[in-house]
Amino acid sequence: MKLQKLISRLAQKHPRKIDLTLNRTFSLLKKLGNPQDNLKTVISVVGTNSKYSICQSLKAILNQANYKCNLYLSPHLQSYTERFVYNDKEINQEVLINLLEDIEKTLGDDQATLFEILTCAYLKYCEEFKENITLIEAGLFHQFDSTNVFKKNLASIIGSIGMDHLQWIKNKTIDGIIHEKTVNLLNSNIFVNKQDNIEIRFKIENALKNNQSKKYFFGKDFNILKAENSFIKYEDSEGLIILPEPNVLGDHQLTNISTSIAIAKKLFNIKDQDIKKGITKINLKGRLQEINYGKLKKLVGSNRLICDGGHNINSSKAIADWVKQQNQDVHIIIGMMKDKNHQGFIECFKDKVKSITLINIPNQEGSISKEDFKNKLNKFKEKINLSNSIEESIQSMNNYQNNICLITGSLYLVGEVLNLN
């Protein structure tokens, strides 16, 4: 409760939730002694999707090879402490409260958005673990994001790029989004994850033509494929590695893992054996995460309960591809924010799911009501149900046996699901 009150107070330090500029961030960092300049090994991660999954898979491989990591992630699912990972451990809540109170004092009467304050706080405390590898996930785009404050880094990773958060940029096209995410990437090493289509990859290549970094592209410089007997094959210029199946769901995660492997091999010379073990220890919350325990598992009965915070078209395509591969009937429970492409998201599941249950996302003023959501989905009316709560919608699955219940549409919704469990 104390942390949430502090967060609420810090959120009042600027009249707008998002105000894209780096001036306030650099001003606060200067007051803090520019801690970002003291970090030894920084890897910046940008993109619309896959940032979190790439960070976690790379961390798992590096940890297996005895490297220590710091991670800055956003948004969180259950607690702000999830965003602050140092020495491979989530920050203690009391430590975070003390840290943020110190930052609040340093900020004084100056303005800053909450994300800017959190980023500066993260970087300040990161000085205590400056010898570690620090993975920094961008918040919104990159050009004016408060994570874009480094003079040098070891590498930048470009995750999959798609159409999302268009209200914050003038050029509301894929070219505009690519520009925002790539224009200020540092000259070091750049690794580009698999894109939704080859045209986007070509656009990224063109956007980076004046960047002097060494560049590595999925499908061009490294690749990954499914092999027989649940094994997978990773291939690059150095040869082929036969890998065990990783401990995550979804074929799209294989491409995220391949980007992490490319980085581990090219920049850290990680041994094949550490890669093989590392990819079986990846911890992904809210990304096709199966709930195998707790109250909600009891509510769902003999059915499987899966949750994924995907909320844009690219993510819905990836989730729908996984759904298509299942040998069980799949029922989706979905809640979304108002500013998303609701019809486009649901369209990806056409003819792939048995039923669709719409719910309101608890504690989110910016979410679309289930009634308004239903009015947008005329094509699916025969499959649509409305439910009053997460628990009620999950419990309705008791009408089935050995089916899959998939909760999706928002990271905020998945956070509420995990809190209930």
pLDDT score of 166:
63
- Tell me which DSSP letter residue 219 carries: T
pLDDT score of 165:
65
pLDDT score of 143:
85
Q: For the chain, give the number of residues.
A: 421
pLDDT tens track for 24-66? 999 999 999 999 999 999 999 999 999 999 999 999 999 999 9
- Which of 403, 309, 310 has its CA nearest to residue 355? 403
Confidence of residue 168 (pLDDT cuts 50, 70, 90): low
pLDDT score of 280:
97
Domains in the chain, start-ordered, CATH in brackets? 2-278 (3.40.1190.10), 289-420 (3.90.190.20)
pLDDT tens track for 335-358? 999 999 999 999 999 889 999 999
Lowest mean pLDDT among 84-98, 192-206, 377-391: 377-391
pLDDT score of 379:
77
- Which of 334, 349, 335 has its CA nearest to residue 380? 349
Say which residue, 365 or 334, is predicted with more confidence. Answer: 334
Confidence of residue 128 (pLDDT cuts 50, 70, 90): very high
Quote the Cα angle for 24-30-33, to 5°: 145
Mean pLDDT confidence for 376-393: 88
Mean pLDDT confidence for 258-287: 97
Q: How far apart are the C-alpha atoms of 113 and 322, rounded to whole Å?
A: 37
pTM, rounded to two decimals: 0.95
Residue 17 has pLDDT above 80, yes or no: no
The b/e string for 43-55 (b: 16+ C-beta within 10 A; e otherwise) is: bbbbbbbbbbbbb
- Which of 176, 207, 208 has its CA nearest to residue 190? 208
Residue 312 has pLDDT above 80, yes or no: yes
Mean pLDDT confidence for 253-258: 97
